[in-house]
Amino acid sequence: MSEEAKYLETARADRSLWLMKCPTVVSRAWQEAAAAAPGPDAGGANPNPSPVVAKVILSLDPLRDDDMPSQTWCLMTQQIKMEMAQACSGNTPKSYSLNMYSDFVPMCIFSESNQGKLACEGKVEKKFDMKPHRENLMDYGKLCRERTNMSMVKPRKTELILDDNGKGMRPLPVHQLIPPGPKDKKKVPVPKANETKRTRMDRGELEKKLFKLFESQPNWSLKQLMQKTNQPEQFLKEILNEICVYNKRGPNQGTHELKPEYKKYTEDKATN
């Protein structure tokens, strides 16, 4: 909404309107018919700026029960039909059945002019959904098959260029290929010291070594233990998860220390 459109015209707000949801092919046909119609400035006795694009046919049964509400009767018999006024192109259906509904969320229709003026055109009393009439089911089936075939067409095409003589494939003198020299040879990457492959030792032997380290110092980081034991990181983590507690906070944050049961065992062993 633009800043200039500050007022809303509500003179037609109480007008009852019908809202219809139509397929894309119907909407496109109506737009083409409106574009082809002569405007108000065209010559002729009766210029028609708003051409008739369709007509709605409501069939009434004189023998129906008068006690039955009209809305319920229309829903049961589906006697509301719409026919396109213009000739449809291809297999586009010309007749449609309209399913009417009155039980929906209250809605209003708004419009905006070219000058930016807003207006409430009315409130929706009836809502309609369109579907091809049974008279046009064969045409509608052909239309669906045409859509499927069009969606399967590959947009990319291969073209054969004749009389080109390979000019587009010839490199310019500036872009001549130069054979690689000795400086352009790929250097063999040197493995870093921390990337040296470590060999696992016996599980029991590693546990004894860790207990001995924790006797000399109560807290160790994972990096320090890897340097002391020279063991793979994943294997060392498995052992530490069984015998140690990881400190997530406090003065010893980021270090491992023995679980209480193992700590008591090492203290008793050191005392003896």
pLDDT, one tens digit per residue, over 25-84 is 788 878 887 777 665 555 555 555 567 778 888 777 666 655 555 554 444 444 788 888
Q: How many domains does the chain have?
A: 2
Domain that holds residue 141: 8-34+52-152
181-207 tens-digit pLDDT:
655 556 656 555 555 678 888 888 988
The reply to whether 118 and 239 lie within a common domain is no
Residue 1 inside a domain? The answer is no
- Residues 73, 136, single domain; the answer is yes
Q: Is residue 39 part of a domain?
A: no
Q: What is the per-residue pLDDT across 130-146, written as a single tens digit (0 to 9) for each?
A: 877 777 777 777 777 87
Instruction: Specify the pLDDT at position 77.
Output: 44
* Global confidence as pTM: 0.38
Q: What is the 3-state secondary structure (H, E, C) of the chain?
A: CCCCCCCEECCCCCCEEEEEECCHHHHHHHHHHHHHCCCCCCCCCCCCCCCCCEEEEECCCCCCCCCCCHHHHHHHHCCEEEEECCCCCCCCCCEEEEEEECCCCCCEEEEECCCCCEEEEEEEEEEEEEEECHHHHHHHHHHHHHHHHHHCCCCCCCCCCCCCCCHHHCCCHHHCCCCCCHHHCCCCCCCCHHHCCCCCCCHHHHHHHHHHHHHHCCCECHHHHHHHHCCCHHHHHHHHHHHEEECCCCCCCCCEEECHHHHHHHHHHHHC
- Asked if residue 177 is part of any domain, the answer here is no
Asked if residue 91 and residue 15 are part of one domain, the reply reads yes
At residue 65, the pLDDT reads 58
Q: Is residue 215 part of a domain?
A: yes
Judgement on whether residues 221 and 139 belong to the same structural domain of the protein: no
